[in-house]
Structure 1
Amino acid sequence: METKELLKKVREIELKTRGLTKQVFSGEYHSAFKGRGMTFSEVKNYQFGDDVRSIDWNVTARFNEPFVKIFEEERELSVFMVLDISGSNNFGTRTRSKKELMLEIAAVLAFSAVANNDKVGAVFITDEVEKFIPPKKGRSHALMILRELILFKPKNKGTNLNEGLRFFRNVVKKRSICFLISDFYDENNFVEGLKIANRKHDMVALRIFDPVEKELPNLGLIKMFDAENNVVKWVNTSSKKVRTHYKNQFIKSEENLNVQLRKSGVDYASLSTDGKYLAELNKLFLKRSR
């Protein structure tokens, strides 16, 4: 992709997601992801109902009337995105591919972090860690992450979420918010790795999918390509038996994934490429803020 075309695409994504960030996530992001603790802000005159444990005895003695300390939440956070860029995420049949949906979600999260003066970083993974971008503040850093996500060509096509989670745990020592964004087509058991990461960090799993992965359309004999294993199969989608089997397999894998994510103890949401992902993301943020 040429520089001019890249800059245009990044700008389009920024304009689109910046509006969404302000419209949908302005308050939810702040309340859903709280800071590390409380820090002293100021003192005020004691009023009936104030916690007596907050009385500032030095100021009270100086002015001969009671004053209490006011504390504010320490807001500065580090937000990480562990992004699964394996071969299966190139699939898409609607307005966008899964990778393009991931790019939009990453932009929304990155600009939400920037708007709240938080640091943002990223880890790109396949079946190994492909790239690490340390967290920094500011719009220019968020845009750099998006440019890298657009241009980056992974060495591998497979998926091993444990590798990404292990790297994240080992490299990031300070408690952070971490969004694991993937279609979760991973034959490895990642539950224990997610549990361990969630003990130290605030983990959130965002599962992306395309509607056709849920239910095959009747398109006759079609060629299907497994991008992670380089396998081609011809599938007769006219057969009701084939379509029913495909749907049942999806339901089974969906139930299994939901069980695994619940076991890991993390908050999660499923986001579709058909354009309805914002409502689910907003629902997740609202649930966390209660």
Structure 2
Amino acid sequence: MSTATTPGEVARKAPLALLRKLEWRVRMAADSFLGGEYRSAFRGRGREFDQVVKYEFGDDVRDVDWNVSARLGELYRKKFIEERELTVVILFEDTPALQFGSGQRTKREALLELAGLFALTAAGNRDRVGFWHATPAGHHVRQPVRGRVNIVRTAATLLGQPIPKLEDGPEASLEWKLFFHAFPKHSIVLWLGDFPPRPVGPGWAALRKRYEMIGVRVDDPWDIQLPSLGILPAVDPESGEVLAFDMGTKDSQQRHAQWVAEREAAWQEWFPSPLQRLTAGTEGDLLEPMVTFFRRRMQGVRR
């Protein structure tokens, strides 16, 4: 009997293998701080005490009622009326530009890892998770589900989506009217993408009114600072052309600096508040900027 693994099986197993690694990291972080940071970032702290309930994995340790726990011999926490199940929607804007990477991983790979971290964190807090995968060729939707097993399966489906084809074009199809019908009002929408310089489009105001929109962007080191390496052959991920790009000229450096400024201005126009946008890098740990973002939101919510 042959035990060879087919390419299709590898493609299916790879997202699950990555999610297992990410889940271990999320659990380790949740035991110390991540669970509480996540809850406070999106829910705020309890404003009105409701009852005492058993402490479960992912609960904020700061809500533990130590007197009740000592009397009953197991952990109990205070529950507040404001607590509710959240719906988290991962909107992944998958474009050819995300296939760029000057280091060990591309921007697409880093964003997918962040998507996995967000999904697993939401699963640990007993929230619902769904996704909208938008590409130049169309979109793929998964309705929000609850429960760890279902959420892991949903996240694996997102991580296993094929890379967009260059011939389909540079921009993803974002059909907001369909998006409105797909996901419930007041959902937390984590919009992951490259966010090139572009004007705020029609329907954005209605989108922000219906959902809590959060932008998530990953920058390659070359997005921030173009190194002076002289003439370098490069593949344009949007056109597929191989170009001879002279990175050392003054003109190249100036045009890149202008692009960086325009991109950042557009980023802040889409998401004016620092509580609405998260920027991470392709190099290094991705959990750290996510936790920092949760803390920043938590502090902003409490003010």
Fold shared by both chains (TM-score > 0.5): yes
Which residue of the partner structure matches residue 174 of structure 1?
A: 185
Candidates 109, 115, 120, aligned match of 2:129 = 120
2:127 and 2:83 mapped to 1: Cα distance? 11
Identical columns (%) = 26
Candidates 237, 242, 246, aligned match of 1:227 = 237
1:197 to 2:203 alignment? no
1:97 to 2:101 alignment? no
Matched residue SS, 2:102: coil
Matched residue SS, 1:159: coil
Give CA-to-partner distance per residue, 1:65-98, whole Å, 9 cap, x none.
Answer: xxxxx96224211110000111111111233211
Which residue of the partner structure matches residue 239 of structure 1?
A: 249
Q: Is the 8 A contact 2:214 2:277 kept in 1?
A: yes
Post-superposition offset of 1:179: 0.5
Letter in 1 for 2:205: K
Q: Is the 8 A contact 2:275 2:296 kept in 1?
A: no
Which residue of the partner structure matches residue 84 of structure 1?
A: 93
Q: Is the 8 A contact 2:219 2:282 kept in 1?
A: yes
Q: Is the 8 A contact 1:123 1:129 kept in 2?
A: no
Which residue of the partner structure matches residue 220 of structure 2?
A: 210
TM-score, structure 1 normalization: 0.77
**Could you say what the CA RMSD is over the residues aligned between the two structures, in angstroms?**
3.0
Q: Is the 8 A contact 2:220 2:283 kept in 1?
A: yes
Which residue of the partner structure matches residue 158 of structure 1?
A: 170
1:87 and 1:186, CA in 2 relative to 1: closer, same or farther beyond 3 A?
A: farther
Give unpaired runs (5+ residues) of structure 2. 1-6, 53-78
Matched residue SS, 2:184: coil
1:131 to 2:147 alignment? no
1:276 and 1:157, CA in 2 relative to 1: closer, same or farther beyond 3 A?
A: farther
Give unpaired runs (5+ residues) of structure 1. 44-69
1:215 and 1:280 mapped to 2: Cα distance? 20
1:237 and 1:223 mapped to 2: Cα distance? 10
Letter in 2 for 1:207: R
1:127 and 1:193, CA in 2 relative to 1: closer, same or farther beyond 3 A?
A: farther
1:8 to 2:17 alignment? yes
1:79 and 1:30 mapped to 2: Cα distance? 12
1:79 and 1:282 mapped to 2: Cα distance? 17
Candidates 69, 84, 90, aligned match of 1:75 = 84
1:21 and 1:100 mapped to 2: Cα distance? 23
Candidates 135, 141, 153, aligned match of 1:144 = 153
Post-superposition offset of 1:182: 0.7
1:2 and 1:278 mapped to 2: Cα distance? 29
Post-superposition offset of 1:136: 0.5
Alignment length, in residue pairs? 260
Q: Is the 8 A contact 2:117 2:287 kept in 1?
A: no
TM-score, structure 2 normalization: 0.74
Q: Is the 8 A contact 1:261 1:268 kept in 2?
A: yes
Letter in 2 for 1:89: L
Post-superposition offset of 1:38: 8.9
1:268 and 1:71, CA in 2 relative to 1: closer, same or farther beyond 3 A?
A: closer
Letter in 2 for 1:206: V
2:48 and 2:178 mapped to 1: Cα distance? 31
Give CA-to-partner distance per residue, 1:145-177, whole Å, 9 cap, x none.
Answer: 33223321246453246x254432232233211
Give CA-to-partner distance per residue, 1:75-124, whole Å, 9 cap, x none.
Answer: 21111000011111111123321111112211111111111111000000
Matched residue SS, 2:218: strand
2:224 and 2:256 mapped to 1: Cα distance? 8
1:113 and 1:105 mapped to 2: Cα distance? 12
1:186 and 1:245, CA in 2 relative to 1: closer, same or farther beyond 3 A?
A: closer
Q: Is the 8 A contact 1:126 1:160 kept in 2?
A: yes
Letter in 2 for 1:138: G
1:157 and 1:10 mapped to 2: Cα distance? 30
2:170 and 2:32 mapped to 1: Cα distance? 36
Letter in 1 for 2:161: F
Post-superposition offset of 1:128: 5.6
